[in-house]
Amino acid sequence: MDNVDLDVIRQVVAWRAAGRGVVLGTVTRTWGSAPRPVGSMVAVRDDGRIAGSVSGGCIEDDLITKVRNGALSLTHPGLQRWGVGAEEATRFGLPCGGTLELMLEPLSNASMIDELLACLDRGERVCRTLDLATGAVVLSPALAGADLLTLDEKNLVTHHGPQWRLLIIGAGQMTQYLASMALSLDYQVLICDPREEYADAFRLAGTTLTREMPDDVVTAFAPDGHSAVVALTHDPKLDDLALMEALKSPAFYVGAIGSRVNQSKRKARLAEHFGLTSAQLVRLHGPVGLHIGARTPPEIALSILAHMTAERYGVSLSGSQLRSGNEGACAV
């Protein structure tokens, strides 16, 4: 679940608390190209107010019209499709040939939306099972590796909460920017810094701070293919401890701050003292982030998250797009 869909749930809870009727739409399938992925949400209030987005706006406009005309006076969940043909796809703002299917769900107390939001506010991952015959919902802990959404004749099963994890080593100024941006990109963020002078002053809602040693934290974190580890302390005693464990893991992204010269020295240390192989060391992104001319901490944080996003989606980048290690004093 991305941050946009969490905002939809917050708005739905507020509307229902005010006594308004709400229909929740969840993207269950797409064909061809579609603006939003499966699992994305849109909500329409009984007077046509809307929260969220699943298209360029035309599907939302059609939903608003249907609500105002009483066409969505649903008593139980039901499917609706837009863009079945090229002409209709164009009308509803979908790329030519694109088709989008929504499960439209009239919300009630049985929908467990308030309870879902409470779980998400605690940082939990939740499985929501919707009974298509009755509209009743059951919430349960999400299972690791489960599909984001499954639909059969009886149930719509969706998983909510952070789909990606980020472990940041160091609680300095740059971490504030990197962590806050990562939260909006659907990351669960853990920060590790055993140094009192940094950890004591660090505060960022929605993140967790630990003062344990980095190697122990990485081991407990157990990085998987949806995990990233970024070392930002500039202290080899801390960064190297984290990297020696992270580079052995299936983490999709491992990066470290430091100039090109320092990265070469780091790799030599990791090979000599910790026995990392060439195949493991080549996975280390350093200098960390994309080459966008970044100078300030927020710009550098943006470059790191841009690189992480490219890695998430398997986008191949040329050498000129990666940091050369000589751009700016920080040389990240």
Q: Encode pLDDT of 136-166 as tens digits.
A: 999 999 886 678 899 999 999 999 887 789 9
Q: What is the pLDDT of residue 147?
A: 82
Domain closes at, from 112, 128, 160: 160
Euclidean distance between CA atoms 217 and 172, whole angstroms: 18
Give the Cα separation of 173 and 298 in Å (integer): 9
Domain edge (last residue) among 160, 189, 224: 160
Q: Which of 144, 160, 176 is the last residue of a domain?
A: 160
Q: What is the pLDDT of residue 84?
A: 52
pLDDT in tens, the chain (332 residues): 556 788 899 999 999 999 999 999 999 988 766 567 889 999 999 988 999 888 766 788 888 888 888 777 788 999 988 865 555 545 554 544 467 889 999 999 999 999 999 998 887 889 999 999 999 999 999 886 678 899 999 999 999 887 789 999 999 999 999 999 999 888 989 999 999 999 999 999 889 999 999 999 999 999 988 899 999 999 999 999 999 999 999 999 999 999 899 999 999 999 999 999 999 999 999 999 999 999 999 999 999 999 999 998 888 876 666 654 333 334 44
- Domain, as residue range, for 253: 164-321
Task: Give how many domains the chain has, as a whole number.
Answer: 2
Note whether 84 and 179 are same-domain residues. no
* pLDDT, tens digit, 9 for 90 and up, residues 279-320: 999 999 999 999 999 999 999 999 999 999 999 888 887 666
Beta strands in 149-293 (DSSP E): 149-151, 155-160, 164-169, 187-192, 207-210, 227-231, 253-256, 284-285
Q: So what's the pLDDT on residue 284?
A: 96
Residues 259 and 178 in one domain: yes
Say yes or no: 58 and 144 in one domain. yes
pTM: 0.67
pLDDT of residue 8: 94
Q: Which of 153, 171, 145, 184 is nearest to 309 (CA)?
A: 184
At CA 287, angle to CA 285 and CA 288, rounded to 5?
Answer: 60
- Return the pLDDT at 163: 78
Residues 131 and 191 in one domain: no
Please indicate, yes or no, if residue 328 is contained in any of the structural domains: no
3-state secondary structure 94-153: CCCCCEEEEEEEECCHHHCHHHHHHHHHCCCCEEEEEECCCCCEEEEECCCCCCCEEECC
CATH of the domain at 276: 3.40.50.720
For residue 188, being part of any structural domain is answered with yes
- Same domain for 117 and 218? no
pLDDT attached to residue 68 = 82
264 and 115 belong to one structural domain: no
